[in-house]
Amino acid sequence: MFMIERERIDSTVKKVKSQSANFLTLINLSLGALALMFIVQDNLKTGFILIFLAGLFDRFDGMVARKLNIESDFGKQLDSLCDLISFGIAPALLIHEAVLQQFGVPGVIFSIIFMVCGAIRLARFNITEFTGSFVGMPITIAGCLLGISYLTVNLMPGFLFMFLILALSFFMISTISIKKR
């Protein structure tokens, strides 16, 4: 009887362990989705903070997956879907609402360019074998840089954010090699 109970506990522990990185990934998604909700309610500062927190959880999910040796194709796909929301859509919407909306349709187009290039970057990452270097700037870095630029909204002319979005978008879909640390 004790052996059966022990096996059941061991089985449960293995299941929890195998999903721990995915749980952190879903926290990343939840923070990104929450950021979007705050941004559309014009609470941009809270949206900015939530994007930053999503970045921390994104960092931890990969570390946990590697440390526990639980990397999977499912986890890779889930991480990319969550990253598109937290680091593609949320930062682009944040900057659009903070500064680019004053430009009307061009502001919308530039925001969408960032989202589209982020999706392309993630799709390319998911179908290639990782060799220790990223091809193109990871969306997490681009999204965090775009998010951090929110702190300069009152310091820079608005049109410069369009150039920032174009530069980050280009770097995401470029073939530059960035060594993973």
| Superfamily covering domain 2-179 | CDP-alcohol phosphotransferase transmembrane (TM) domain (1.20.120.1760)
With cut-offs at 50, 70 and 90, classify the pLDDT of residue 18: low
Helix (H) / strand (E) containing 64: helix 44-67
Q: Is the pLDDT of residue 44 over 80?
A: yes
Q: What is the pLDDT of residue 102?
A: 97
Structural contact between residues 20 and 72, judged by C-beta atoms closer than 8 angstroms? no
Q: What is the pLDDT of residue 5?
A: 61
The Cα 102–Cα 2 span in angstroms is 68
Mean pLDDT of 44-63: 94
**SS3 of 178, please?**
strand
Is the entire prediction scored with pTM above 0.85? yes
Structural contact between residues 92 and 38, judged by C-beta atoms closer than 8 angstroms? no
Q: Is the pLDDT of residue 2 over 60?
A: no
Q: What is the pLDDT of residue 31?
A: 98
Q: What is the pLDDT of residue 72?
A: 86
